[in-house]
Every structure is written in C-alpha cells, then in structure tokens.
Amino acid sequence: MIRFLLAASLALGALSAAAQETAPDAEPEAQPPDEIYGEAPMTLARLDEIIRALDPEAQTNGRAWQLSINDVQVMIITDETADRMRAITPVRKIEEMSQEDITRVLQANFDSALDARYAIAKDVLWSAFIHPLKALEKDEFISGLGQVVNLAQSYGTLYSGGALQYGGGDSGALQRQLIDDLLKKGQEI
C-alpha cells in the first residue's frame, strides 16, 4: 500500500506542478482581510503543525504530507500558487468496481459523503477532501481528514463521511467518534 501511495503521490505531484504553471503571468489577487476567514489564512507551516499534532510520524517534502489516521494512509497535497489543498486516500482500483458500485458512490456524493467526496483519477477510486488553502480553518481541515478516512472505511457499506448521518443506528455515532477524536487532538494547537 505504501508503494501505491508513493506512486500515486508522484503522479498527483506532477498534476500539482502543472497547476502552478497555468497562470505565470496572472496578476496577484488582492487578499481579503483575516477577519473574513475567521482565522488567519492557512499556511504550509500551520498545516504542518496541525498534521504533526494528529500524527507525529507524518512524512513531508514541504508541500505534501503522508500520515496515518485510524490505520489509513492519507496524503495531503498543496499548491500555494493555485491556493488549493487536497487530502486523499485510495479506496480501490476502478477495474474492481461494477457499474452499480460507481452509481452508489455518485449517490453517496449527493447525500452522505458530506465535505469529502469519492473521486476517480488514474484508474483508482479515491476518497478526497479538496479546499482552498488560505480559507481552510483548523477544525474544518481536521473534520475533512476524518471524513476522508470514514469514506474509505465505509466503502461498500454506508458510503458515509460520518459527520452527519440521516436515520438511526450505531454507524453514525461510530463514524462521528473518529472526527471528534481528531478534533480533540487538534484543540491544543
């Protein structure tokens, strides 16, 4: 799985580098004041601080991280030029999915995946949370990571990000617990 993640990160890193080259002559946009964000704009240093609070063993090259949450390997890829952040984990190879499976993940994207989403790239189904980097707030980021993990772990059953569950049962509380635990780890930073 680690080799798979490393290969995927190289492939996605090339996509990130390509995104940085899309507008080299563009005028810089005026930045809104900090009070619009609610927190100071997210920086790579702040993101690193949050990630290390969640997993002290996280690996980074300065703009991408690999960490483990609930025994799931998650990659975080950033692009400051494009003001984007993406947290992803592979779920399964697309060749292993039936048309019914693909339909089901699209349905989940509509009602139960929440802020994270299922996505297909490079013949792999991913669980992904994608957000503008500067506007990203700590609790929103941590919740997004929990949802990425919940989506990956609930593939084939609930297809849920776990932050909100419609209906009764035990699954919603179990999935919400992961997000609550991650938020508790991030409180001190």
pLDDT at 36: 55
pLDDT at 76: 98
CA angle 158, 154, 185 (to 5 degrees): 120
The dihedral formed by the CA atoms of 108, 187, 73 and 52, expressed in degrees to the nearest 10: 150
**pLDDT of 168 above 70:** no
pLDDT at 8: 54
> What one-character DSSP code corresponds to residue 156?
T
79-113: pLDDT as tens digits: 999 999 999 999 999 999 999 999 989 888 888 88
User: How high does pLDDT run on average in the chain?
Assistant: 81
Per DSSP, helices labelled H in 87-135 are: 99-111
**pLDDT, average across residues 39-54:** 95
Indicate the pTM of the whole model. 0.74
What is the CATH number that goes with domain 2-6+38-188?
Answer: 3.30.1460.10
Ramachandran bin of 93, using left for φ above 0, alpha for ψ from -120 to 50, beta for the remaining angles: beta
7-39: pLDDT as tens digits: 455 445 544 444 444 444 545 555 555 455 578
pLDDT at 29: 55
Nearest to 185 by CA among 25, 5, 52, 46: 52
Q: Which residue has the tokens 């996505």?
A: 119
pLDDT at 109: 87
Would you list the domain boundaries of the chain? 2-6+38-188
**pLDDT, average across residues 107-136:** 94
